Chain A
Amino acid sequence: MTLGAWQSLFADWRSFAVGLEHTLVAAALALLFATILGVFFGLLGVAPVPAARTINRIYVEAIRNTPLLLQAFFFYYGLPRVHIVLPVLAVGVVSLSIYTGAFVAEVVRGGIQSVARGQLEAAYSQGFSFVQAMRYVVLPQALRVIIPPYTNQCVNLVKNTQILSLIAGADLVYQADTWSSENLLYGVAYMTVAVLYLAITLPLAAISRWLERRIGGPIEAGADA
């Protein structure tokens, strides 16, 4: 790990900038869609309709129990066989959204179920519908429980964007790989990539802690008994 190695790396900083851009775009879009999927399927998991809960179980168990890489390979290698050729970045966003969405759905379901059942019943007794009771009574309280594990999923998602490197998606890891394949300077390349990942994930964690403080601490025991 010589000075020369770092110099060659800085001379080619554009390769890494391209990788950072693709990683950021994939992570941001997948984060958005994974959250939407997660909230939707999480709500299905606590819905009063049994069929909705079944759909939640099928989605969550099928997706979280199979490897992300295989799901990405399905979209990348499999779908073209039926003439659906998604661009590689889209393959990344779709597979990451669906995969992380399953974990977020469990986080949301768990958060909602942590709110005492009496809250929902009280809301019903006041004439609230299921959706209204969720929106105004249960979800605001569930949010405190949801945020820490949700942040975990966000950070995992950012790191999981590296599956793009296995389908030639020009993300950070892929760019580092291809750059170092020419000069064999893997050490400096991977160290740089690690620092860039930290630069994305540490702010995410900071935002999460700030949100936690804003919303308030854990639910006080017995407060809603």
Chain B
Amino acid sequence: MKQRIHAFLFAALAVVALTGALARPASADALSDIKARGVLNVGVKADVLAFGFLNPKTNQYEGYEIDIAHELAKRLLGDPNKIKFTTVTAKTRSGLLDSGEIDMVIATFTITEQRKLVLDFSPPYFTDGIALLVQKNSGIKGLADLNNKTIGVAKGADTATRLTNKAAELGNVLLNFSAFETYGEIAAALQAGRVQAFSTDGSILKYYEQQDPSTVILPDRYSNEDYGVATKKGNDSLRDWVTAQINQLRSSETLKRWQQRWAIFNENQFK
């Protein structure tokens, strides 16, 4: 019996020691860690056309955010392809960042005050607005028509909060929300009539509007969503470096050029 207890204690100690060794603390210098590793780990979307999209034909990631990621790899490691992409969703992106699995998230990640408490963000590299995708024949023209109806949103996104605030301004508009794991499931819920609108950033909705010709994106935008490059809190050297790069790309109008290339440019974000 005593031996068994000793064996158990030893096993427990081993586990603690191992997890301690594996769970690297936020390094004092994340930037040189990446240089030493020689590869930049970036979390990106796989299902947002023109931003982060895993092209099923080529099995390559492509889009505006992918261009930014490659540029960062080029500037940091001297080779745009010294990069490893990991597909993230609104729900998984902050967890993967926390665990150290990825160095940064460039995945239509909106900068909010609450998120800034737990993550660091670069200045915005794109500004988008929340929009609504509805069935063409539903007669829904805007948020006011969705009183007492259900809106499908993505888990981990801030869409519901933003729309609720907007509805409060309209007064007497009561919105219900259903949150799903993936955008595809929200699109399916819209088709099945489980939700009366699919809401997220307009840039993301574009793909689903193309997929289902019976749907349409309504013209109104209900918020300004500033997308930033997110890094783990405590990795100050990395955050400062990314911030400097984004600022430079922005002032040199490189970002603008790339947005025009992906046909996602909108004037009001550079005012």
A binding-site residues for B, Cβ under 8 Å: 76-78, 80-81, 85, 88, 166, 168, 174, 177-178, 181-186
Q: Could you say which of B155, B158, B160 contacts A177, with CB atoms under 8 Å apart?
A: B155
Contacts A178-B155, A182-B158, A183-B114 known; A80 to B179 CB distance under 8 Å? no
Give chain B nearest CB distance to A168 CB in angstroms: 3
| B263 contacts chain A at the CB level, 8 A cutoff | no
Once bound together, how far apart are the Cα atoms of A183 and B161, in whole Å?
12
| B178 contacts chain A at the CB level, 8 A cutoff | yes
Give chain B nearest CB distance to A181 CB in angstroms: 4
- Asked if A181 and B157 sit within 8 Å, CB to CB, the answer is yes
Residues in chain A near residue B181, CB distance under 8 A: 166
Give chain B nearest CB distance to A77 CB in angstroms: 5
Residues in chain A near residue B157, CB distance under 8 A: 181
Residues in chain B near residue A174, CB distance under 8 A: 179
The contact sample of 14 A-B pairs, CB cut-off 8 A, is A77-B189, A77-B194, A80-B192, A80-B193, A166-B180, A166-B185, A168-B189, A177-B179, A181-B90, A181-B157, A181-B179, A182-B158, A184-B119, A186-B94
Q: Which residue of B lies closest to A170 (CB)?
A: B178
Please encode chain B, from 51 to 94, with 1 for each CB lying within 8 Å of some chain A CB and 0 for all others: 00000000000000000000000000000000000000011001
- Asked if A76 and B118 sit within 8 Å, CB to CB, the answer is no
B binding-site residues for A, Cβ under 8 Å: 90-91, 94-95, 114-115, 117-119, 152, 155-158, 160-161, 178-181, 185, 188-189, 191-194
- Asked if B95 and A186 sit within 8 Å, CB to CB, the answer is yes
Given contact pairs A166-B185, A181-B179, A182-B161, enumerate 15 new A-B contacts (beta carbons under 8 Å).
A77-B188, A80-B193, A85-B194, A88-B194, A166-B181, A168-B189, A168-B194, A177-B156, A181-B156, A181-B158, A182-B114, A184-B94, A184-B114, A184-B119, A185-B118
- Asked if B194 and A184 sit within 8 Å, CB to CB, the answer is no
Secondary structure call for the B interface: mixed
Q: Which residue of B lies closest to A83 (CB)?
A: B193
Residues in chain A near residue B180, CB distance under 8 A: 166, 168
Q: Which residue of A lies closest to B97 (CB)?
A: A184
Residues in chain B near residue A88, CB distance under 8 A: 194
Secondary structure call for the A interface: helix
Number of contacts between A and B (CB, 8 Å)?
53
Once bound together, how far apart are the Cα atoms of A186 and B161, in whole Å?
18
Give chain B nearest CB distance to A74 CB in angstroms: 11
- Asked if A177 and B91 sit within 8 Å, CB to CB, the answer is yes
Residues in chain A near residue B118, CB distance under 8 A: 183-185
Contacts A166-B181, A181-B179 known; A77 to B90 CB distance under 8 Å? no
Residues in chain B near residue A181, CB distance under 8 A: 90-91, 155-158, 179
Once bound together, how far apart are the Cα atoms of A76 and B94, in whole Å?
29
- Asked if B95 and A168 sit within 8 Å, CB to CB, the answer is no
Once bound together, how far apart are the Cα atoms of A186 and B115, in whole Å?
13
- Asked if A76 and B114 sit within 8 Å, CB to CB, the answer is no
Residues in chain A near residue B191, CB distance under 8 A: 77
Q: List the 9 closest pairs (A to B, CB-CB), nearest first.
A: A168-B178, A80-B192, A181-B156, A77-B192, A184-B118, A184-B94, A77-B188, A177-B155, A80-B193
Residues in chain A near residue B94, CB distance under 8 A: 184, 186
- Asked if A168 and B119 sit within 8 Å, CB to CB, the answer is no
Once bound together, how far apart are the Cα atoms of A177 and B157, in whole Å?
11
Once bound together, how far apart are the Cα atoms of A216 and B119, in whole Å?
58
Residues in chain B near residue A183, CB distance under 8 A: 114, 117-118
- Asked if A80 and B194 sit within 8 Å, CB to CB, the answer is yes
Q: Which residue of A lies closest to B176 (CB)?
A: A168
Once bound together, how far apart are the Cα atoms of A133 and B188, in whole Å?
50
Q: Could you say which of A168, A177, A184 contacts B115, with CB atoms under 8 Å apart?
A: A184
Residues in chain A near residue B114, CB distance under 8 A: 182-184
Residues in chain B near residue A166, CB distance under 8 A: 180-181, 185
Q: Which residue of B lies closest to A174 (CB)?
A: B179
Contacts A166-B181, A181-B179 known; A76 to B119 CB distance under 8 Å? no
Once bound together, how far apart are the Cα atoms of A181 and B155, in whole Å?
7
Residues in chain B near residue A185, CB distance under 8 A: 118
Once bound together, how far apart are the Cα atoms of A178 and B181, in whole Å?
11
